[in-house]
C-alpha cells in the first residue's frame, strides 16, 4: 500500500482511519470539504479542502500523489436530516459519489473501500443480520448508500476495480489518548448525548421509546469502537491488494446493548447520575440491530479489540470531558 486517498478524512470515522493508517506507516492524502468535518481532526500531511464532485481536483490529486487506493467516507449521515431533505442526501451522497468514483477510476484508482451502513437493512426480519438479509432501507440515508454499493458492483466489473463496502453498525468511542472523538452538529447519537448530559451540557437525556419488544423496553444496538472500524478498512485494503474478490461486509460485534444499558454503564464509568425522561419512539428506529460478523472475520481476519462497552464508554468519556466543545475552540472574549 503506497499512498491512500481518504475522502471525508476530517470526519469521525475517517479521521480515526487516517490515524490508524499513519500508525502503519502509510502515506495518506485527505480530501474533505469541511462542511461537517473538522480541520483539527485531520492527521495526514497532505490535505485538500475541496469537494468530491470537483473532478479536476480529484484527477489532480490522484496524479500528483500517484494514488491507486481509496477509502471513500465523504457523505452526509444524519438519518433525521435525510428524511426531511431526501434531495440533499441523494445529491450529496449518491450523485456526488457517482461523479467522484468515475473520475477516480479514470484517474487510476484500482482499489476502493466504501463506507456503507447497516441502514441499508431497514427493519430486519432476523437477528443477527447477515449480509444476505433483505435490503429495505427505511430512510433516504440508507437508500443513498445502497445505491453507491450497486454502482460499485457494476463499476468494479466494467473497469476491473477491486472494492469492499463496509456496512457499519453503531460507531462509538474515541481515540484512546482522547485527542480525537465524535463531534456532530447537531448531535443526535446516544452515547455523546448521554455523556454531554453527564457533563451538564444538556439538562436531561430523552429515551426515545420504552415499549419496544426488548427485555427492558428500550432499543438494542451493536456498538463498535471507531478504532475497530478503522482497522476494518485497513484490513479490507490489504485484502483487495492481495486479490480478495470484491465484497460487502457487516462491521459489528455481534452483541447488542440497550439504551438503558448504555445509560447505566455510563453512570458507572463517569460516577455521575443523569436525569432521564421517556419520550415517544423516534420515527424509523428498528427495535434491534445486531450484526452477524462471521463473514468479515473469515475473509479479513477482523476481530473487535476495543468494542467492549467499558472501552467504548471510557474512551468517549475522556474525549467529551476533555473537549466539551468538541473540536471547536472556546470563543475568545
Size of residue set near ligand UFG by CB under 6 A: 22
Rule CB under 6 A: which of 60-89 touch ligand UFG? 77, 79
Start-to-end CA distance of the chain, whole Å, equals 47
Q: How far is the CB of 168 from ligand UFG (least distance, A)?
A: 7
Q: How far is the CB of 263 from ligand UFG (least distance, A)?
A: 9
Does the footprint of ligand UFG cover residue 166 (CB under 6 A)? no
| 156, containing H or E segment | helix 140-159
When the beta carbons of 53 and 118 are compared against ligand UFG, the nearer one is 118
Active site residue 141: yes
Q: How many C-beta atoms surround the C-beta of residue 176 within 10 A?
A: 15
Does the footprint of ligand UFG cover residue 202 (CB under 6 A)? no
Quick one: which of 179, 206, 214, 246 contacts ligand UFG (CB under 6 A)? 206
Q: How far is the CB of 287 from ligand UFG (least distance, A)?
A: 8
- 172 with 191: CB under 8 angstroms? yes
When the beta carbons of 18 and 207 are compared against ligand UFG, the nearer one is 207
When the beta carbons of 100 and 141 are compared against ligand UFG, the nearer one is 141
Sign of the torsion angle spanned by Cα atoms 5, 243, 118, 53: positive
When the beta carbons of 22 and 88 are compared against ligand UFG, the nearer one is 88
Q: 288-289 and 223-225: which strand pairing?
A: unpaired
| 232, containing H or E segment | helix 226-241
Q: How far is the CB of 48 from ligand UFG (least distance, A)?
A: 25
Stretch that binds ligand UFG, among 116-124, 177-185, 294-302, 321-329 (CB under 6 A): 116-124
Measured between alpha carbons, how far is residue 186 from residues 78, 81, 113, 193 in Å? 9, 10, 27, 10
Residue 118-147 contact track with ligand UFG, rule CB under 6 A, x = bound: xx---------------------xx-----
What are 30's strand-pairing partners? 6, 47
Q: 223-225 and 111-117: which strand pairing?
A: unpaired
- 107 with 159: CB under 8 angstroms? no
Stretch that binds ligand UFG, among 93-101, 115-123, 177-185, 303-311 (CB under 6 A): 115-123
Please give the torsion angle defined by the CA atoms of residues 163, 169, 171 and 176, in that order, rounded to the nearest 10 degrees: -80
Q: Rounded to whole angstroms, how far apart are CA atoms 93 and 74? A: 8
Quick one: which of 62, 174, 190, 300 contacts ligand UFG (CB under 6 A)? 190
Q: How far is the CB of 169 from ligand UFG (least distance, A)?
A: 7
Q: Rounded to whole angstroms, how far apart are CA atoms 304 and 306? A: 6
Does the footprint of ligand UFG cover residue 221 (CB under 6 A)? yes
Quick one: which of 17, 144, 170, 311 contacts ligand UFG (CB under 6 A)? 170
> Among residues 243, 229, 245, which one has the least CA distance to residue 293?
229
Quick one: which of 202, 208, 241, 297 contacts ligand UFG (CB under 6 A)? 208
DSSP 174: -
Residues recognised as catalytic: 141
- What are the residues binding ligand UFG (CB under 6 A)? 77, 79, 117-119, 141-142, 170, 188-190, 193, 205-208, 219, 221, 259, 282, 285, 289
Amino acid at each position: 500500500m503506497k499512498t491512500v486517498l481518504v475522502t471525508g478524512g476530517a470526519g469521525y470515522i475517517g479521521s480515526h482511519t487516517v490515524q490508524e493508517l499513519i500508525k502503519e506507516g502509510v502515506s495518506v492524502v485527505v480530501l474533505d470539504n469541511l462542511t461537517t468535518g473538522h480541520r483539527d481532526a485531520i492527521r495526514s500531511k497532505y490535505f485538500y479542502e475541496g469537494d468530491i464532485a470537483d473532478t479536476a481536483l480529484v484527477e489532480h490529486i490522484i496524479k500528483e500523489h500517484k494514488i491507486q487506493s481509496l477509502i471513500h467516507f465523504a457523505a452526509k449521515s444524519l438519518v433525521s436530516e435525510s428524511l426531511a431533505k431526501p434531495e440533499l442526501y441523494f445529491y450529496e451522497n449518491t450523485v456526488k459519489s457517482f461523479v467522484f468514483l468515475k473520475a477516480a477510476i479514470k484517474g487510476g484508482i484500482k482499489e476502493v473501500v466504501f463506507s456503507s451502513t447497516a441502514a441499508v437493512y431497514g427493519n430486519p426480519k432476523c437477528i443477527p443480520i447477515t449480509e444476505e438479509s433483505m435490503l429495505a432501507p427505511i430512510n433516504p440515508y440508507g437508500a443513498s448508500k445502497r445505491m453507491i454499493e450497486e454502482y460499485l458492483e457494476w463499476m468494479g466489473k466494467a473497469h476491473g476495480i477491486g472494492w469492499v463496502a463496509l456496512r457499519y453498525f453503531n460507531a462509538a468511542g474515541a481515540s484512546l489518548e482522547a485527542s480525537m472523538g465524535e463531534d456532530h452538529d447537531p448531535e443526535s447519537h446516544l452515547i455523546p448525548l448521554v455523556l454531554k448530559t453527564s457533563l451538564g451540557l444538556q439538562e436531561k437525556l430523552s429515551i426515545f421509546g420504552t415499549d419496544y419488544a426488548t427485555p427492558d423496553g428500550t432499543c438494542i444496538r451493536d456498538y463498535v469502537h471507531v478504532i475497530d472500524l478503522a482497522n476494518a478498512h485497513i484490513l479490507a485494503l490489504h485484502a483487495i491488494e492481495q486479490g480478495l474478490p470484491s465484497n460487502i461486509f457487516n462491521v459489528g460485534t455481534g452483541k447488542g446493548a440497550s439504551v438503558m444499558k448504555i445509560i447505566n454503564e455510563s453512570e458507572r464509568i463517569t460516577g455521575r447520575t443523569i436525569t432521564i425522561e421517556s419520550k415517544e419512539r423516534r420515527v424509523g428506529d428498528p427495535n434491534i440491530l445486531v450484526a452477524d460478523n462471521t463473514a468479515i472475520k473469515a475473509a479479513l481476519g477482523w476481530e473487535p479489540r476495543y468494542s467492549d462497552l467499558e472501552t467504548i464508554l471510557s474512551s468517549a468519556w475522556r474525549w467529551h470531558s476533555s473537549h466539551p466543545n468538541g473540536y471547536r475552540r472556546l470563543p475568545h472574549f
